[in-house]
Amino acid sequence: MTDTPTHAPQGNDAKLGPVARFIRDTELDTRMLGMVGALLLIWFSFHLYGALINGEGVFLTPRNLWNLSVQTSMTGIMATGMVLVIITRNIDLSVGSIVGVTGMVMGLMQVEILPQYLGLGNPATWMITVVAGLIAGTAIGAFHGWLIAYRGIPSFIVTLGGLMVWRGVAFLSAGGRTISPVDETFALLGGGPKGSIGAMGSWLVGLLGCAAILWILRSGRAARKKHGFALRPMWAEYALAAIGCGALLGAVLVVNAYPWPKGILKQMNLPEDTFVSHGFAFPVLILAVVGILMTILMTRTRFGRYVFAIGGNPEAAALSGINTRWVTLKIFALMGMLAALAAVVASARLNSATNALGDLDELYVIASAVVGGTSLAGGVGTIYGAIIGALVMQSLQTGMVLIGFGDGSYRKIVVGVALVLAVYLDNLYRKKTK
């Protein structure tokens, strides 16, 4: 949110209310504030509905929020890549099938191929497996990108074909079998009590994160000073630091408040009344790292700048000497790699690889990116928006189950309506701020 340290405050103090002034001085993205507001509204509504109608509010509990964070990871990881695809006026319908086929590649790799050479439970198994999966995903994505950029086939068609082809390949690669169980270390990447970093680890992550937030604010201010641009008032800097660190440490408190269930304690020969915190799950950490790296890529590198430029005006980008085809190919390769990473999380979490892994994911991923403010007209979108979008979509699904509408039909109706509504509200917002 403080990526572009170049916004000079404009306007007149006297006319603004305290809220407007706060937003102006902190330079927070109002669109993001709106999304966070909507997310909190959804959370409280589900909780209240549960509390009032069902007699028990279960949404805002450490357990549910922890689960929500893990469930969001898979969609979130892919949504960060879909942002780039959609910004450049393309679409990728094949991500769900890439999850399926790379999940299968990794399943076969760790269960049937590697044990022949390394034996069962070799500590290198999971690493080789993940690398193989990522290479497979990147290669598939790059191939799609090549067809789109260098052969001029519309991305909709290429990836629609990919959607069918790779699902078929996933089925054929193991003759329709389900590959299970996966390598024990690999399974940790899917989360669960053991696939989490515990209370101490979570505090460490939280404190490192806070240090990073403070450093970003400081260096942003230093850069502005160096070039003599307008600075944020000091109180706004402190407010931003407090909000950022507060949210992060709040998240640590929540994940640490969710203890291991009794069954696991027994399995680990611990007394039944021991309180062992889950802490952040590995999928959530993977999503966090992906989110940070993708944000840096989009806001701090030439590649990211070119992605936006191509989305804003492909012709201008080409006339500026940007190799638009090569950039497009790389975007799809990156999308393929992220789909493979999502497959790691998904198959590890399921503890198996099935040919149905990732089925229909493309729709949720696209919906997340779009709900998160990525414009289908191209040129506009943010990584954090897509992640919040994924969280919104997942919250709606989880919430419907928790308040007793677990039946797929209701869930689909609510998610579908929310998607259309979100894009409509976004249109209104953009018109108003233009």
Partner 1 sequence: MTNTGTPLVELKDISIAFGGIKAVDHVSIDLYPGEVVGLLGHNGAGKSTLIKCLSGAYRADAGEIHINGERAEIANPRDARHYNIETIYQTLALADNLNAASNLFLGREIVGAGGFLDDSAMEAETRKIMARLNPNFRKFNVPVSALSGGQRQSVAIARAVYFNAKILIMDEPTAALGPHETQMVAELIQELKKQGIGIFLIEHDIHAVMDLCDRAVVMKNGQRVGTVNVNEVTDEDILGMIIMGKKPPQAV
Report the interface residues with partner 1, using CB under 8 A. Answer: 4-8, 223-224, 226-229, 296, 299-302, 305, 308-309, 311-313, 315-322, 379-380, 434
Least distance (Å) from partner 1 to the CB of residue 45? 34
Please list, in sequence order, all residues whose beta carbon lies within 8 angstroms of the beta carbon of residue 87, skipping any fewer than 6 positions away.
307, 308, 310, 311, 374, 375, 378, 379, 380, 381
Residue with tokens 């892994």: 357
Q: Which is nearer to partner 1, 272 or 315 (CB)?
A: 315
Q: Which is nearer to partner 1, 119 or 228 (CB)?
A: 228
Q: Which is nearer to partner 1, 30 or 313 (CB)?
A: 313
Least distance (Å) from partner 1 to the CB of residue 308? 6
Least distance (Å) from partner 1 to the CB of residue 321? 4
Least distance (Å) from partner 1 to the CB of residue 48? 39
Least distance (Å) from partner 1 to the CB of residue 300? 4
Query: How far is 190 from 220, CA to CA, in rounded Å?
Result: 36
Q: Which is nearer to partner 1, 30 or 301 (CB)?
A: 301
Q: Which is nearer to partner 1, 207 or 318 (CB)?
A: 318
Query: Among residues 110, 101, 157, which one has the least CA distance to residue 361?
Result: 101
Alpha-carbon distance values, 353 to 61, 79, 191, 233, 335 (Å)? 31, 22, 16, 53, 20
Quote the tokens at residue 273.
């009344």
- 150 three-class SS: coil
Contact between residue 179 and residue 104 where contact means Cβ atoms under 8 Å apart: yes
Least distance (Å) from partner 1 to the CB of residue 224? 7
- 135 three-class SS: helix
Least distance (Å) from partner 1 to the CB of residue 9? 10
Q: Which is nearer to partner 1, 252 or 317 (CB)?
A: 317
**E strand residue ranges, 14-110:** none
Q: Which is nearer to partner 1, 197 or 322 (CB)?
A: 322
Quote the tokens at residue 229.
């641009």
Least distance (Å) from partner 1 to the CB of residue 301? 6
Q: Which is nearer to partner 1, 54 or 323 (CB)?
A: 323
Query: How far is 149 from 17, CA to CA, in rounded Å?
Result: 49
Residue 147 CB coordination number (10 Å): 20
Least distance (Å) from partner 1 to the CB of residue 297? 10
Query: Among residues 290, 341, 418, which one has the least CA distance to residue 133?
Result: 341
Consecutive H or E run containing 328: helix 324-350
* 360 backbone φψ class: left, alpha, beta (φ>0; ψ -120 to 50): left
Least distance (Å) from partner 1 to the CB of residue 425? 20
Query: Among residues 320, 345, 243, 299, which one has the least CA distance to residue 87?
Result: 299
Q: Which is nearer to partner 1, 27 or 359 (CB)?
A: 27
Please list, in sequence order, all residues whose beta carbon lies within 8 angstroms of the beta carbon of residue 385, skipping any fewer than 6 positions away.
31, 32, 35, 83, 369, 372, 373, 374
Q: Which is nearer to partner 1, 40 or 316 (CB)?
A: 316
